[in-house]
Amino acid sequence: MTAIVAERFSDPSWIFEPKLDGMRCLVYRHGDQVRLLSRNRRRMNERFPEIADSVSSRAAADVVLDCEVVAIEGGRPSFGALQARAQRPAPVLLYVFDVLHLDGRSTRELPLVERKELLPAAIDVGEHVRLVPHRAGDGHGLFTELCSLGWEGVVAKRAASPYTSARSSDWRKLRCTLRQELVIGGFTDPSGERRGLGALLVGYFDDDGRLHYAGKVGSGFDQQLLVALRRVLGEMEIAASPFGVAGAPAAGAHWVAPTLVCEVAFAAWTAAGLLRHARFIGMRSDKPARAVRRETSAR
């Protein structure tokens, strides 16, 4: 897992990769068996059959890879296009950035730079498969280039670090714009000509399992999505607020079981711990709600 860094940086002991606006995917191949799993261990083979087929023909016979599934729209990754594939077809690619197991042995304890050197032997680049490019040392330059092209940002990784599944300061996000995964705990009614719902009431869990209120998200939706969300959330309504920490507005609120995760873009956190100018990006079915924390600076 990755920490957030407030400031870009360059350092010769770090490597820097583009941050891809997609869905994390662990790839397992053992002989003829191929499994694509999301972060919360949900099978993805049927959702991305073209990627599963590519892995079966291009990956080593005994391998575990850490990757991201990305939809391309307008020449760059788009999470919105990935979510809307059922209504609006978009090409998808598997971007491979790490190898955890290869040919009968674990590679997790190897330094990252050595795992990177193993990637060409772990999977062949071709249709639907790419290796994530990286740059040694120059975080400033890559950050400036990607932000000017409208990408999400950069992931910085300590070159000598082993692979870990836990949160670690050895992997750091440098975002061009602020984004955060949040748990939906309620919604408000629409007003005027708006249909479905007015805004989502969102929050994040702390380490004690309490849901903190983080604010309202009322933009970034189209009418079709508003109606669909109201239908889903209406079936999840509960009597009392799920937010264990005071601050959520009770007037006009509908409370829901806090199990669904969405991603939002926003301008800043206020001094009161609320989102400023939050905009809905999409639903995140690949992360369990209880794992959602407020992302904070690593230093």
Catalytic residue, from 19, 116, 157, 216: name it: 19
261-281 burial: b if 16+ Cβ within 10 Å, else e: bbbbbbeebeeeebbeebbbb
Catalytic annotation present for 19? yes
Count Cα neighbours of 256 within 13 Å in the Cβ-side half-sphere.
23
Q: What angle do CA 101, 106, 111 make, to 5 degrees?
A: 95
Cα–Cα distances in angstroms (integers) from residue 229 to residues 42, 115, 199, 208, in the given order: 22, 42, 10, 29
Alpha-carbon distances of 107 from 39, 61, 66, 95, 117, rounded to whole Å = 20, 15, 12, 19, 11
What are the catalytic residues? 19
